[in-house]
């Protein structure tokens, strides 16, 4: 049963529709269903109370005509569906009021149903005006016709006409005002919630790659993916400790922010994933979380651009700074672990080797492993460095990345 209802309420809602419009259509379908289910029950009770069995055919007609709401939504005529449902519902109560007169106040349901403007998206202001105008016309008809001409069961005096008109006018204005104020408040709350969600989403994407953030939002507790091959770069500012003694903390932070912001822009340009900054160190990777074949080439270009960008920055700002860089290519595990302060990180021997390439390198040079050399040797100029003893690893054959071949 629930599956059937969910399918019924989703009629006319494509997957690409905005949440605001989808909510409006879903509520229209639900209101139609409520009328079809509960209206006959209320009508049955009314039949017993008034002993007017002739109303049953009219109620049946309402149920039949309300099916067109689903048809309009399925055809994408969402505004027509909302307007049609309201007019159909309100015309029914106009009919009841004319039959029984104002004493039973059937037309109050017209005022209450005007609250459906809360379901109409803000972008459809013309529809809101049309709905309120049609409700006003129908309500006035329900109020004034029995007042001046009486009903099938009762004729009103002049005093009753004046008093009822005054009461009903105030009631109508009050309910419409409440509906509009409620709509305005609901829209403000939705906008504020949407703004907060966008801020949270932006903050999350500044911490984690989009693909990883999506997995985290879906409730995956441990995110760890194996990559058969990726490329990792470590870069470190040479002489940072000495430099920090010459600058105030504020100056130091501004300097580091300027430099790392340059590197962030380059990482985005080359389609690489910044992993983290570690003090004066900068770490990034290529080939993850979205895998691509030319990750080694992209990281090589990134490394060359980093050195050129820093040299240009120093020239423009009268600074004397340099960096050393290390790169390696190989298998790696990447993901997010822990329960708080999430960070996207990498694990594996290749990560340690890339770090050792940087720490055992030289200022202004880009030291790379044999594995990385084999990946880029046809597109870049590299200088052999020979067999180098690497702490914790042993002797390795390394190379210096010089430039891209022209």
Predicted local confidence at residue 403, as pLDDT: 93
Are the CB atoms for 62 and 88 separated by under 8 Å? Answer: yes
- Is there a contact between 109 and 93 (Cβ–Cβ < 8 Å)? yes
**149, 198: one domain:** yes
Tell me, yes or no, whether 233 and 371 share the same domain. Answer: yes
| Residues 65, 181 share a domain | yes
Q: The pTM is what? A: 0.57
Q: 142 and 191 share a domain?
A: yes
Shared domain check, 347 and 229: yes
Task: Give 137's pLDDT tier (boundaries 50, 70, 90).
Answer: confident
Nearest alpha-carbon partner for 115 in 78, 89, 152, 91: 89
Tokens encoding 148: 């001046």
With b for 16 or more beta-carbon neighbours within 10 A and e for fewer, the 87-109 pattern comes to: bbbbbbbbebbbbbbbebbbbbb
Report whether pLDDT(343) > 60. Answer: yes
**Residues 378 and 232 placed together within one structural domain of the fold:** yes
- How does 46-62 read in b/e, with b if 16+ C-beta sit within 10 Å? bbeeeeeeebeeebeeb
Structural domain count of the chain:
2
Model pLDDT, residue 317? 86
**Does residue 210 form part of some domain?**
no
Instruction: Classify residue 273: in a domain, yes or no.
Output: yes
Residue ending a domain, choose from 205, 240, 273:
205
Residue 268 and residue 195 in one domain? no
Residue 213 located in a structural domain: no
* Residues with Cβ within 8 Å of residue 70, at least 6 apart in sequence: 8, 11, 12, 29, 32
Same domain? For 192 and 228 the reply is no
- List beta partners, residue 234: 283, 326
Q: CA-CA distance, 377 to 382, in Å (whole number)?
A: 7
Which phi and psi angles does 289 have, rounded to 5°?
A: -70, -15
Q: Is residue 370 part of a domain?
A: yes
Region of poorest pLDDT, from 30-44, 64-78, 385-399? 30-44
Which has the higher per-residue pLDDT, 147 or 86?
86
- Give the CATH number, domain containing residue 320: 3.30.70.1230
8 Å CB contact between 114 and 120: no
233 and 199, same structural domain? Answer: no
Show which of 182, 205, 228 is a domain's final residue. Answer: 205
Sequence-distant (6+) residues with CB within 8 A of 267 are 273, 274, 284, 302
* Number of Cβ atoms within 10 Å of the Cβ of 150: 15
The pLDDT of residue 202? 75
User: Per the domain annotation, does 211 fall within a domain?
Assistant: no
pLDDT tens digit string along 206-262?
777 777 777 776 766 667 788 999 999 999 998 777 777 888 888 888 989 999 999
Return the minimum-mean-pLDDT range out of 135-139, 179-183, 257-261, 374-378. 179-183
Per-residue pLDDT for 112 more than 90?
Answer: no
The C-alpha atoms of residue 302 and residue 274 are separated, in whole angstroms, by 11
How far apart are the C-alpha atoms of 398 and 374, rounded to whole Å? 11
Q: What is the domain range of residue 61?
A: 2-205
Q: Could you tell me which residues are beta bridge partners of residue 400?
A: 367, 383
Whose tokens are 């042993």? That residue is 394
**Domain end point (choices 205, 235, 265):** 205
**pLDDT category, 89, cuts 50, 70, 90?**
confident
β-bridge mates for residue 236, sequence order = 281, 324
| Residues 318 and 226 reside in one and the same domain | yes
Quick one: how far is CA 1 from the chain centroid?
Answer: 31
pLDDT of 54 over the 70 cut: no
What would the pLDDT profile of 290-334 be if each residue is shown by its tens digit?
A: 888 899 999 999 999 999 999 999 889 888 889 999 999 999 998
Same domain for 175 and 109, yes or no, is yes
């Amino acid at each position: 049963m629930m599956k059937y209802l969910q399918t019924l309420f989703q009629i006319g809602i494509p997957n690409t529709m905005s949440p605001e419009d989808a909510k409006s259509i879903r509520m229209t379908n639900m209101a139609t269903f409520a009328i079809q289910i509960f209206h006959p029950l209320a009508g049955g009770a009314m039949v017993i109370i008034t002993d007017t069995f002739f109303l049953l055919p009219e109620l049946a007609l309402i149920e039949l005509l309300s099916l067109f709401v689903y048809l309009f939504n399925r055809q994408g005529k969402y505004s027509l569906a909302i307007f049609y449902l309201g007019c159909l519902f309100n015309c029914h109560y106009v009919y009841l009021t004319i039959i029984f007169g104002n004493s039973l106040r059937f037309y109050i349901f017209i005022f209450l149903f005007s609250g459906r403007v809360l379901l109409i998206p803000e972008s459809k202001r013309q529809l809101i005006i049309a709905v309120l105008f049609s409700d006003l016309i129908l309500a006035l008809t329900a109020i004034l016709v029995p007042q001046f001409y009486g009903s099938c069961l009762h004729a009103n005096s002049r005093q009753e006409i004046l008093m009822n008109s005054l009461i009903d006018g105030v009631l109508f204005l009050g309910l419409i005002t409440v509906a509009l104020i409620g709509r305005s408040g609901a829209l403000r709350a939705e906008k504020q919630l949407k703004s907060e969600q966008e801020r949270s989403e932006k903050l999350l994407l500044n911490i984690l790659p989009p693909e990883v953030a999506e997995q985290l939002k879906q409730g995956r507790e441990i995110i760890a993916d194996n990559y058969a091959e990726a490329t990792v770069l470590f870069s470190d500012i040479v002489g940072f400790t000495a430099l920090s003694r010459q600058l105030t903390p504020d100056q130091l932070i501004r300097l580091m922010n300027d430099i790392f912001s340059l590197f962030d822009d380059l990482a985005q340009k080359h389609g690489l994933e910044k992993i983290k900054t570690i003090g004066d160190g900068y770490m990034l990777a290529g080939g993850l979380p979205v895998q691509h074949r030319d990750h080694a080439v992209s990281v090589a270009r990134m490394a060359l651009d980093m050195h050129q960008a820093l040299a240009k920055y120093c020239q423009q700002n009268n600074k004397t700074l340099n960096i050393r860089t290390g790169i390696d290519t190989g298998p790696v595990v990447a993901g997010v672990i822990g329960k708080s302060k999430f960070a996207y990180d990498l694990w594996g021997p290749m990560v340690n080797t890339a770090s050792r390439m940087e720490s055992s390198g030289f200022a202004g040079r880009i030291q790379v492993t044999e594995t990385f050399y084999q990946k880029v040797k046809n597109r870049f100029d590299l200088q052999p460095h020979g067999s180098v003893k690497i702490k914790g690893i042993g002797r390795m054959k390394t190379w210096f990345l010089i430039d891209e071949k022209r």
